[in-house]
């Protein structure tokens, strides 16, 4: 029954998403002129810290939020509060699809000391009605690239509504657990559990979590991520 309610709720969530599918384009922040020609120098201790890469779309990038309200930022604070010495890297790009993530995967995974990849992609594939098989192929290749570098993967799942058609809905919804099983990676069934369709936890577009909703999304991720980490 609980799963049925989640699916019905997600129908409205996704219907709203179709109206705002083009709104997730991020713009770069301002750059201080005094720093333009200054080389980036990372403290040695920071460089050596193991990294958690958050690879995703606007839900990861923190669309409509301040930087310190995005889930990677909140996750960093959560880890440090619990005594974990990891650096969380926000590799989210608003509007990104599974293909966009695949095209960025090599560069993202090429950073030093990457230990975990939190993979959150596929929602924009759904919004654009892209073939599920193609999405699975793209996500599968990202997972394979991560595993080839001995990087652990947490795959974040999404749900599709019946409005997409029964066949598409079934294929899309099953794609994530199928990938997790096939590649033997950790799996979060629904990233927006407890957030989707709740007006008080979402921005005005009805799609992107607000600051409070993002806190819940972060806890959803952390619950699955924590057992994967070294203390």
Q: Distance (Å, rounded) from C-alpha 63 to C-alpha 39?
A: 28
Tell me the sheet residues that pair with 55: 91, 119
Burial pattern 75-101, b for ≥16 Cβ within 10 A else e, equals bbebbeeeebebbbbbbbbbbbbbbbb
According to DSSP, the β-strands at 87-92 and 152-156 are unpaired
Tokens of 195: 């957030």
Output b/e per residue, 117-148; b: 16+ Cβ within 10 A.
Answer: bbbbbbbbbbbeebebeebbebbbebbebbee
Q: CA 98, CA 90: separation in Å to the nearest integer? A: 16
Gap between the Cα atoms of 192 and 158, Å rounded: 8
Q: Check if 178 is active-site.
A: no
Catalytic choice (57, 58, 94, 98): 58
CB distance 152 to 116 below 8 Å: yes
208 noted as active-site residue: yes
Residue 183 annotated among the catalytic residues of the structure: no
Which residue, among 136, 72, 134, has the nearest Cα to 108 in the 3D structure?
A: 72
Among 70, 94, 98, 208, the one annotated catalytic: 208
The set of catalytic residues is: 58, 205, 208
């Amino acid at each position: 029954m609980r799963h049925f309610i989640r699916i019905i709720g997600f129908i409205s969530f996704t219907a709203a998403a179709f109206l705002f599918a083009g709104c997730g384009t991020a713009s770069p922040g301002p750059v201080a002129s005094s720093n333009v020609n200054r080389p980036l120098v990372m403290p040695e201790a920071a460089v050596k810290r193991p990294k958690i890469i958050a690879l995703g779309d606007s839900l990861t990038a923190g669309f409509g939020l301040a930087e310190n309200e995005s889930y990677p930022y909140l996750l960093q604070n959560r880890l440090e509060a619990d005594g974990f010495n990891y650096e969380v890297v926000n590799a989210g790009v608003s509007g990104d699809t599974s293909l966009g993530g695949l095209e960025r995967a090599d560069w993202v995974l090429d950073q030093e000391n990457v230990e975990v990849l939190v993979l959150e992609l596929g929602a924009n594939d759904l919004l654009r009605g892209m073939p599920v098989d193609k999405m699975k192929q793209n996500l599968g290749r990202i997972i394979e690239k991560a595993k080839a570098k001995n990087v652990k993967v947490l795959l974040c799942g999404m749900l599709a509504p019946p409005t997409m058609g029964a066949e598409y809905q079934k294929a899309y919804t099953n794609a994530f657990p199928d990938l997790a099983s096939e590649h033997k990676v950790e799996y979060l069934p629904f990233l927006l559990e407890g957030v989707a369709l709740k007006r008080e936890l979402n921005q005005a577009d009805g799609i992107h979590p607000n600051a409070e909703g993002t806190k819940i999304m972060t806890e959803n991720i952390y619950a699955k991520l924590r057992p994967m980490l070294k203390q």
